[in-house]
Structure formats: C-alpha cells, structure tokens
Structure 1
Amino acid sequence: MNIRKADHSDLNAILSLSPQAIFDGTLGEVMPSSEKVESLVQPLLDKGGFYFIAEAKDEILGWVLVGTTKDQFTEKQIGFIYELYIRQQHRGKGHSKRLMNAAIEHFQKEGYAEVRLSAKAENPAVHMYENMGFTTRSVTMCLNLE
C-alpha cells in the first residue's frame, strides 16, 4: 500500500466514489448527488486543498481530503481534514490511520499549529481520532422537529 498526493487523473475516480463516502460518513443520513459533491469539493480544491490517496496495484483504497480554514474567533489559519474515506472492502487494515498520519505530517511541515476535523458523534472513526490525540473542541447539537 502506497500513500501519495492525488493527481488530476485520480480526481474523477474519487469524485465518483464521493457520494458513497458522504453516505457512509453521515451514517446513512445523506446520499448527495455527484453534482452536490462537486459543488462542495471544488471550492476546497480551488483554495489549495487536495487529496492524499492510499493505493495498491493501481486501485484507490481510500483518501483523505485536506485543506485549511480560519478559526471563527481568532481568524488564525488552521489545517482541516474535510473527509476521510476507506472503501468498504479495504477497511480494518490500518489504511485510515496511515492516511491521517500523512495529513498530520503535511500540516506539521507547513507550520500549522492545529488540525481540526468534524465527524458524526456515532461514527466509529471517532475512536481512532481520539486514539490519535484529537480531542472534542465543540459540540454541535440538533433537535429533530419532524
């Protein structure tokens, strides 16, 4: 298994799998259209965000989408992990952690003091994030009125 920065030729394959990635990441709540995915991802890519991909034998096993954002209060630039996805058949083999480490190393080399991410509370990946040293910084709550 190899981890590398995705190039332009990888983008179509990633975007074709992204609706499933969002569906899995939202624990089945949202299955966006390909157009919606592109409208979410393209601005991140235009601002310098990019994907690291895990691959083996020319097959994409998964990816992490990295970029930056500003802290809403301090205006300080921070690293942000927008998406982490491992294709179903390749889960449980440590690829997520290796992709996360690649993202964290990238932010360290670029001089960022902090990396953030967002995940559904029930997502099993939250345990991995905590084991890697991420801590809860804020909580988003909702009240379903339907």
Structure 2
Amino acid sequence: MFIRRATAEELRFIQSYAPIVQQEATLGYMDGNNVMNEEMHYHYKAEYFTLLDRHRICGWILLGEAKTPVNSETMGMVLELYVLQPYRKKGFGHMLMNYALHYFKQKQLKKVQLNVFAGNHAKKLYEQMGFKDVSTLMERPL
C-alpha cells in the first residue's frame, strides 16, 4: 500500500469518476456536470495523489493551496478525497488524510482547510482528525 503523485493514466481514471465523485460528495446537490476544471486546478496549484495496493487504485486525494482572505497566508486545501467502493471502511480515507497533513507540513504550511457538504459521512473522519467548523453556508430556495 502506498501513495504517490498520480500518473497520466491514473489521472484519466480519476477523471472518469469525476461526475460520480461530485454526486456522492455533494449528496446529489450537484448533479455531476460541474466537475472541477483545469482553471480550478491552476488556481489552487492542485495535484492528485493516488493510494495504490498492488498497482490498483484504491482512492485518491486532490491537494492544493490558497491564500487566506484575512492575511494572505498560504494554506493547504484538501479539494477532493475519494475511496473506491470496494475499499471503504478499511481506513484508506484516514491514510490519504494523514498523507495530506504530512505533505502540507513538509511545505511548512500552518493551516489546512476543506469543504464538506452537510450530511457527508466523511465529515466524521475530518472531525476525528481535528478539523473544526469555521463557517456555515446557508441556502434557501426562492
């Protein structure tokens, strides 16, 4: 079991899952047609890292950077975390998040943020790893 920067072939595989990932992560709030584009990858300087077991992809994480609005400090951003269905409930999400935290520490960043939709089961993992709510986005249909 190891994690590494995604290869071109692995990126194609990840892209094929983009609508599924978006639908699951947003609990159907987004229909999977608004997948993260190249402009967003460029904005966050984002890179995918894959979790592999015997050269099979088990999951991946998309890591990037952003500036804090308050003091323009650079912080790490977990933009996507996904574990394929057969590999869930085995601690792989935790492994990917630990990789992300170590990656950002190596870059000497002081903070990491992520966005998670209400009701997403991954929120429990993030809370167990020390993430706290910073803001709440609220919405109401008109």
TM-score greater than 0.5 by the shorter chain: yes
Q: How many equivalent pairs are there?
A: 141
- Distance in 2, Cα, partners of 1:135 & 1:98: 19
Q: How far off is 1:131 after superposition? A: 0.5
Between the aligned residues of both structures, percent identity stands at 33
SS in 2 for 1:32: coil
> Which position in structure 2 is the counterpart of 1:95?
92
> Which position in structure 2 is the counterpart of 1:46?
42
> Which position in structure 1 is the counterpart of 2:22?
22
What whole-Å deviation, never above 9, does each CA across 1:110-143 have from its counterpart, x for those lacking one?
Answer: 0100000000121111111010011111111111
- Distance in 2, Cα, partners of 1:24 & 1:139: 20
> Which position in structure 2 is the counterpart of 1:8?
8
Letter in 2 for 1:89: P
- Within a 5 Å distance, the mapping from 1:74-85 to structure 2 comes to 74-85=71-82
Q: How far off is 1:29 after superposition? A: 2.3
What whole-Å deviation, never above 9, does each CA across 1:64-88 have from its counterpart, x for those lacking one?
Answer: 1000011122222111000111111
- Within a 5 Å distance, the mapping from 1:107-146 to structure 2 comes to 107-145=104-142
- Distance in 1, Cα, partners of 2:40 & 2:56: 24
SS in 1 for 2:134: coil
Q: Residue 52 of structure 1 contacts residue 102 of structure 1 at CA under 8 Å; is this kept in 2?
A: no
Query: TM-score scaled by structure 2?
Result: 0.91
Letter in 1 for 2:9: S
Instruction: Give structure 1 stretches of 5+ with no counterpart.
Output: none
- Distance in 2, Cα, partners of 1:144 & 1:88: 33
Letter in 2 for 1:25: A
After superposition, the CA RMSD in angstroms is: 1.4
- Distance in 2, Cα, partners of 1:20 & 1:78: 27
Q: Which deviates more from structure 2 when the two are superposed, residues 73-82 or residues 91-100?
A: 73-82
- Distance in 1, Cα, partners of 2:6 & 2:71: 31
Q: Residue 54 of structure 1 contacts residue 99 of structure 1 at CA under 8 Å; is this kept in 2?
A: yes
- Distance in 2, Cα, partners of 1:108 & 1:42: 26
- Distance in 2, Cα, partners of 1:104 & 1:127: 17
Q: Residue 78 of structure 1 contacts residue 114 of structure 1 at CA under 8 Å; is this kept in 2?
A: yes
